[in-house]
Structure 1
Amino acid sequence: MQHTVEVLLPLGVKTPFTYALPAEMGLLCVGDIVLVPFRGKELWGVVWQLDTNPYKGELKSIRQKAELPPLPDQFVTFLKRIADYNYFPLGLSLKLTLSQTFLETKKTRKFVDLTPLQLDHHTPIFSAEQQYAIDHMVTAIDTHRFQPIVLDGITGSGKTEVYLEAIHQTIKTGKQALVLLPEIALTNQMLARFEKRFGKSPLLWHSNVSPTFKRQTWQAVLKGEAQVIVGARSALFLPFPNLGLIIIDEEHDGSYKQEDQITYHARDMAVLRASLEQAPIVLVSATPSLETVQNIEAERYQKLTLSTRHGGAVLPSIHPIDMRQQPKGWLSPPLLNAIQKTLERQEQVMLFLNRRGYAPLTLCRQCGLRLTCPSCAVALVEHKHHQRLCCHHCGYSQTRPKNCPDCGAEDSFIPCGPGVERVHEQVCKRFPSARVEVLTSDTLTSVDLLSEVIEKIRRHEVDIIIGTQLLAKGHHFPLITLVGVIDADLGLSGGDLRCGERTYQLLHQVSGRAGREKHLGHVLLQTYSPDHPVMQSLCQQNRDQFNKLELVDRQEHHMPPFSRLVSLNLGGRDQTLVAETARQLGFKAPKVDAVQIFGPAPAPISYLRGKHRWRFLLKADKAYPIQRLLDHWLSQVKLPSSITLDVDVDPQSFY
């Protein structure tokens, strides 16, 4: 007779495995981290359940228990809930938090600074609005209760200082705090503000952090030694035993959605985690997502508003330039004149185009052949800086061919459309004495490089900044008084459910870079659709009216946030087999009044990374248990081993 435990491993498995508990190991509890044999090797896993019925068969034994505290009960529950909601195997939820490298026992130098924050290092002076917001957050923190709070503040209103004060109060109560940022590009400026407020930097968690630093940070979090973590979406899966506050900065940002392999939305899962931890969560944005707006309307979330810019700065004026009335060219005369006047005043200009590279299309002028990626059904983007044609989906690149492979014409390929590199070329020709800098993820390949360029801009060593959405969020450049948007309509095409919302949010954020301090700011939007509701709302600076129109449209069509979507994506290298498998799955589709099933149909990008793709889209009532329907439906069809099926609950993109 032997005692057994169920151990979950961080693999794509749906259930834990049974192991024998050696008598000399003593008692274990749920959440304990243990080393077990598995298929010829040893893996760290987590005790998921204590078996009450003795097992009489032959079992492999647990090798050892880690010298660490167990995963907290509420965190184990969180991992179960996210796997269930997002419809992925339970073991993958553990994989989100437990890496085998985190349990390495080798001795290394201590990299992580665990000295306490200096709570009295620097206390800023707050406006009446800021203090009102802080007081409400402090009440929720002190009472240790779940409270979703939306900090809705215009750009430059001091939202960061407000939530840093909330972190101060959290640390005073002996709790831990987590701050999520949408992109690691924002972490350096956050560190500067954090260090000014608390005398030292917080611990960081993102993809550029070294393995040794991650291991020490993960263990410090589990032991309760880490007071504050600032990180990307993956930081949500750190095993805090005493979490007292979660901050989601730029909560509307699409980067919070994980779309590869394990799909989840970090913002929504953070709300779930806060509810299990009985902790307040603060969703911060100048342009809250429509899901958040609807939760405010339904009184599920509390809204705190910051309506004025910090330090007396005022919002910039925003004007459209109707490109239908302008001569041919990427830069219109009104924008060029505004740039000239801004430079004469010795102020800075930001030009925004959310398109990397030199040109989005390369065509043969003789036969019209479009150069496309051999592994994806998309056009190759020319990058003049690297002298390559690149695929932005799979990373494939090639040089531009000398002869057209279709018609044989020599030197016949021409670039079509502008990217930031092409805008840079035009700007340098028009303003040869100006100091111009391009900011994109292609040229600034690390946080340190980005920080260097940002410091150059702040020291006024740059006159004109040209960039993509890397420029849009959070940066504070006091001398930028003119923002020009080159192709403001870019995000409005494609039929995406959220294209209008995303375009408004992005352009609102970009506009907010102008006139941050004493200087008045101006924004010029080059558009072929000046009467579009997005452009009208931006120019009138009437965000609430835009949200109202969008919500009415979504409700009329029973779309999120008034319903739930689920995307099923089939992929494989055999085009015929993928199509046939999709049809077989379609024959078994259930018929339920509360659920509409669209498809099967080829995906909008039907060939991606070497795989042919078909998809289904499900639209269900909000309260309907869609995961149960998926269980019943998908169990009826055995997929060929060469076909993958990815389920995306609450999809954010539809390619």
Structure 2
Amino acid sequence: MPTTLETNSTNYRIRVAVPVHLYDTFDYLVTEEQYQHIHLGARVSVSFGRQNLVGIVVEKLPTNQPIQTKFKLKFITEILDEHAILDEKVLSLLTWSAQYYQFPIGEVIQSALPTLLRQGKPADLLTRVWILLDEHAETKIKRSDKQQEAYKILKLHPQGTTENILNLAGIETATLKALAKKDICKCVHEKQDLSPMPMTLAQMPLTANEDQRKAIDTILKAQNKYQAFLLDGLTGSGKTEVYLQVMERVLKQGKQVLVLVPEIGLTPQTISRFQSRFHCNIVLLHSGLNDSKRLQAWQHAQSGKASIILGTRSAIYTPLPNLGLIILDEEHDLSFKQQEGFRYHAKDVALYRAHLEKCPIILGSATPSIDCYALVEQGKLKLLELNQRAGSALMPKMHVLDLKVSPKQHGISQLLIGEIKRRIERKEQVLIFLNRRGYAPVLICDSCAWQAKCPNCDANFTLHYQPYSHLHCHHCGTIHRKPDHCPQCNHEELKPIGMGTAKVEESLNELFPNVDVIRVDRDSTSRVGSWQKIYDRIQTSEPVILLGTQMLAKGHHFPYVTLVTILDIDSGLLSVDFRAPERTAQLIVQVSGRAGRGEKKGDVYLQTLRPDHPLLSTLVNHDYRAFAHQTLKERKAALLPPYRYTALIRCESKNQQLNQDFLQGYAQNLRTNANELIDIWGPIPAPMERKAGRYQAHMVLLSQDRAKLHFYIRQWWQNMLHQKPSNMKLSLDIDPQELS
């Protein structure tokens, strides 16, 4: 039984969210003086078990309430912040997120903090300011273009400028350090000035067409109140210009704008558009920043100094005292859903945050998700359509190439090779899309048909030749050297089957030896700044062949690309996942949208073995919206999401029978208690049953009543976690977007 402690000297208590995988908050004692000065949302150092942890104060308990606990309470070790670093609305957002996604509140809050704050470092980090020392240093740096560029920018700021501004201008810290070694500049540390910077226009807005003007006016009528908009605009229809003109009005009111993009690769061009339009403090928040820069950007946002906050998924939890608008660009993109650990969806969190902040939110896409079309149908999103490309640009014409009858060379249709040649001769650019890294997806023995399979996964190794010949499993990360002969029959002829981007690059260099072929995938852009260099090269009018994966499909503006081709679309057409047609249609439209965005008309070629597939027919003869509305009808008839709410339980261990038996017991219990409210699929093996040496099983829960689904999950999920064997890993995914 709990014991009651009633000594007044220890009756000052706070409740702390501690970053441990437990679903509770924990009570700690404080002195009377600490109790008076401590703030909700401030960090405290606490002793938890045998370790010291940094937690966040989430509640101050009444002093007239006796302490009831079976544990002896500890005093906090230290108050780390004089003021709250997380405001009340962000704490509410984080609490809601922890409850909705059924994840420990301490770990949810920790994920919203920069690394240095999680480690207990001071919140008032000093700013690095670079000052020019030598105004006549041209001869010292004549061999380095980077240093010359940095030198020119420093000369424009004789009083010095912050490292953050220099980085945003494309100047790397390593370049500044190189200049400092030559005594051309120096770095000093100053206390940050966190006062807001007024916004002024650096460039006048473009003239909006009728669709853009209607969208802008409609959104502006919703200022200072919650309303959610779906901006459904064809590729190249000027969605960004709508964002900019709405942002201008919000910024003039002294409010902040939060812009979320799906991946880091989109931030350089987006921030360039913002900087060319607005004179104001713009900060970036994404995983590519080092710890000190991320903390500095976070502080500028949290203090109100930053007017525009541009970030990826996790930026949705950034404290913003004057938030006036949220924009989520490319809302359909799967990158907005966290797939590990705390599995939140930034889009759903953004909608709830806009509701809490009483501000409008814009979800923009050329290929809106089926879920968003359903929200429009339910009246929860207001639809705004942009039906024409900006300026004089025309929509590209789509062509389907039947690979069964079309002659091929290096896996590329002869007709397509001719089209590429014509575009290059006309000094135009070509984009070739293949969503497969490496050289070849299969390595096979010509003699006995042995295949190079990953020993830890139900998957083939991918063959790579860079930086050396090796086999790489893209699922678990295992790397082996490429064998010289077949390990099964000792035959020396091992043959690569299929095409990856590296193999296509080799083929294109052979077919077009006088043309630059630029490969854009995770392997070729792993170095810092490499993607920016590639992007700058594409923005010139020189003929070039771009070859890449998903990185090329997401919202980029390539004005000189007139021909786009997708080499292999069939894998998306044949998947068993009910969302695969939606993802495939979005991919086709998004990649196609990179063509003909300038003054010249564009063409799109799709290579396929299934030219008569209904999805292709719909996209070629109609458009994405026709496909989406047909898909909505099919989902409604089959009672698939978004017409039922889902939760996915993943079970992982070294024994598949253990997984199946464990899940089956809970499935039976749920069927008994939930009657017909919840439909249960499984347990069944995962699509990739073995991954990284462990077996995986799934159980999917579906219900038309979201509240009831969450009620039953809350009742038994933590019980499952307590009763699972120690060698088993369980995870819960609310509103899953993938079933792999």
Give the TM-score, by structure 1 length: 0.95
Are positions 1:104 and 2:104 aligned together? Answer: no
Q: 1:117 to 1:453 in 2, by over 3 A?
A: farther
Residue 61 of structure 2 aligns with which residue? 51
| Distance of 2:32 and 2:207 partners within structure 1 | 60
Q: Which amino acid aligns with 2:73?
A: L
The share of aligned pairs that are identical, in percent, is: 36
Deviation, structure 1 residue 530: 1.8
Q: 1:332 to 1:91 in 2, by over 3 A?
A: same
Are positions 1:61 and 2:142 aligned together? Answer: no
| Distance of 2:511 and 2:42 partners within structure 1 | 65
Residue by residue over 1:183-227, the C-alpha shift from the partner in whole angstroms, topping out at 9 and shown as x without a partner, is 100100111111101136620011111100112222333323322
Residue 454 of structure 2 aligns with which residue? 373
Residue 213 of structure 2 aligns with which residue? 131
Residue 358 of structure 2 aligns with which residue? 278
Deviation, structure 1 residue 572: 1.8
Residue 642 of structure 1 aligns with which residue? 727
Deviation, structure 1 residue 119: 2.5
Asked if the contact 1:35–1:66 (Cα under 8 Å) also holds between the matched residues in 2, the reply is: no
Q: 1:10 to 1:616 in 2, by over 3 A?
A: same
Deviation, structure 1 residue 138: 1.7
Q: Which amino acid aligns with 1:353?
A: L
Q: Which amino acid aligns with 2:639?
A: H
Deviation, structure 1 residue 559: 0.4
Residue by residue over 1:208-265, the C-alpha shift from the partner in whole angstroms, topping out at 9 and shown as x without a partner, is 1110011222233332332221011010111223322111000000111101111111
SS at match of 2:680: strand
Residue 138 of structure 2 aligns with which residue? none
Q: 1:263 to 1:107 in 2, by over 3 A?
A: closer
Residue 155 of structure 2 aligns with which residue? none
| Aligned match for 2:101, one of 82, 86, 90 | 86
Residue by residue over 1:588-608, the C-alpha shift from the partner in whole angstroms, topping out at 9 and shown as x without a partner, is 333421211111121111111
Q: Which amino acid aligns with 2:590?
A: Q
Asked if the contact 1:588–1:633 (Cα under 8 Å) also holds between the matched residues in 2, the reply is: no
Residue by residue over 1:273-293, the C-alpha shift from the partner in whole angstroms, topping out at 9 and shown as x without a partner, is 111111111001011000111
Name which of structure 1's ranges 150-159 and 112-121 shifts more when overlaid on structure 2: 112-121
Residue by residue over 1:548-585, the C-alpha shift from the partner in whole angstroms, topping out at 9 and shown as x without a partner, is 21111111110011111211011123445334433433
Asked if the contact 2:27–2:73 (Cα under 8 Å) also holds between the matched residues in 1, the reply is: yes
Map 1:142-181; keep pairs closer than 5 Å.
144-181=224-261
Asked if the contact 1:4–1:54 (Cα under 8 Å) also holds between the matched residues in 2, the reply is: no
| Distance of 1:585 and 1:371 partners within structure 2 | 38
Q: Which amino acid aligns with 2:537?
A: K
| Distance of 2:496 and 2:281 partners within structure 1 | 46
| Distance of 1:300 and 1:109 partners within structure 2 | 43
Residue 426 of structure 1 aligns with which residue? 507
| Distance of 2:424 and 2:495 partners within structure 1 | 33
Residue by residue over 1:170-194, the C-alpha shift from the partner in whole angstroms, topping out at 9 and shown as x without a partner, is 2222322111100100100111111
Q: 1:647 to 1:427 in 2, by over 3 A?
A: same
Deviation, structure 1 residue 541: 4.3
| Distance of 1:56 and 1:398 partners within structure 2 | 58
| Distance of 2:88 and 2:570 partners within structure 1 | 48
Are positions 1:578 and 2:593 aligned together? Answer: no
SS at match of 2:483: coil
Residue 402 of structure 1 aligns with which residue? 484
| Aligned match for 1:609, one of 670, 677, 692 | 692
| Distance of 2:434 and 2:450 partners within structure 1 | 26
Are positions 1:75 and 2:87 aligned together? Answer: no
Map 1:504-583; keep pairs closer than 5 Å.
504-583=585-664
Asked if the contact 2:520–2:546 (Cα under 8 Å) also holds between the matched residues in 1, the reply is: yes
SS at match of 1:145: coil
Q: 1:56 to 1:519 in 2, by over 3 A?
A: closer
SS at match of 1:178: strand
Deviation, structure 1 residue 98: 2.8
Q: 1:153 to 1:593 in 2, by over 3 A?
A: same
Residue by residue over 1:501-539, the C-alpha shift from the partner in whole angstroms, topping out at 9 and shown as x without a partner, is 111111101111111111111111111222222211221
| Distance of 1:417 and 1:525 partners within structure 2 | 17
Map 1:26-37; keep pairs closer than 5 Å.
26-27=35-36, 28-37=38-47
Structure 1 regions of 5+ residues with no counterpart? none
Q: Which amino acid aligns with 1:68?
A: H
Deviation, structure 1 residue 473: 1.7
Asked if the contact 1:590–1:633 (Cα under 8 Å) also holds between the matched residues in 2, the reply is: no
Q: 1:108 to 1:610 in 2, by over 3 A?
A: farther
Are positions 1:632 and 2:650 aligned together? Answer: no
Deviation, structure 1 residue 124: 1.4
Asked if the contact 1:10–1:98 (Cα under 8 Å) also holds between the matched residues in 2, the reply is: no
Are positions 1:390 and 2:472 aligned together? Answer: yes
Q: Which amino acid aligns with 1:54?
A: P
Structure 2 regions of 5+ residues with no counterpart? 1-7, 129-162, 166-193
| Distance of 1:286 and 1:24 partners within structure 2 | 56
Q: Which amino acid aligns with 1:421?
A: A
Residue 234 of structure 1 aligns with which residue? 314
| Distance of 1:249 and 1:122 partners within structure 2 | 22
Rg: which structure is higher? 2
Q: 1:521 to 1:139 in 2, by over 3 A?
A: same
Q: 1:418 to 1:65 in 2, by over 3 A?
A: closer
Q: 1:570 to 1:618 in 2, by over 3 A?
A: same
SS at match of 1:157: coil
Asked if the contact 2:200–2:280 (Cα under 8 Å) also holds between the matched residues in 1, the reply is: no
Q: Which amino acid aligns with 2:450?
A: L
SS at match of 1:80: helix
| Aligned match for 2:537, one of 456, 462, 482 | 456
Q: 1:284 to 1:9 in 2, by over 3 A?
A: same
| Distance of 1:625 and 1:119 partners within structure 2 | 50
| Distance of 1:287 and 1:117 partners within structure 2 | 35
Residue 324 of structure 2 aligns with which residue? 244
Asked if the contact 2:40–2:84 (Cα under 8 Å) also holds between the matched residues in 1, the reply is: no
Q: Which amino acid aligns with 1:641?
A: S
| Distance of 2:558 and 2:298 partners within structure 1 | 35
Residue by residue over 1:478-502, the C-alpha shift from the partner in whole angstroms, topping out at 9 and shown as x without a partner, is 2211111111223222211211111
Deviation, structure 1 residue 148: 0.5
Asked if the contact 2:429–2:542 (Cα under 8 Å) also holds between the matched residues in 1, the reply is: no
SS at match of 1:552: helix
Deviation, structure 1 residue 464: 1.2
SS at match of 1:325: coil
| Distance of 1:544 and 1:584 partners within structure 2 | 43
Give the TM-score, by structure 2 length: 0.85
Name which of structure 1's ranges 23-32 and 367-376 shifts more when overlaid on structure 2: 23-32
Following TM superposition, where does structure 1 have runs of at least 4 consecutive aligned residues deviating by more than 6 angstroms? Answer: none
Which one scores higher on RCO, CA 8 angstroms, separation ≥ 6?
Answer: 1
Q: Which amino acid aligns with 2:690?
A: Y
| Distance of 2:661 and 2:644 partners within structure 1 | 30
Q: Which amino acid aligns with 1:394?
A: C
Residue by residue over 1:99-118, the C-alpha shift from the partner in whole angstroms, topping out at 9 and shown as x without a partner, is 56125128543455666253
Asked if the contact 2:440–2:499 (Cα under 8 Å) also holds between the matched residues in 1, the reply is: yes
Deviation, structure 1 residue 458: 2.1
| Distance of 1:408 and 1:515 partners within structure 2 | 52
Name which of structure 1's ranges 108-117 and 89-98 shifts more when overlaid on structure 2: 108-117
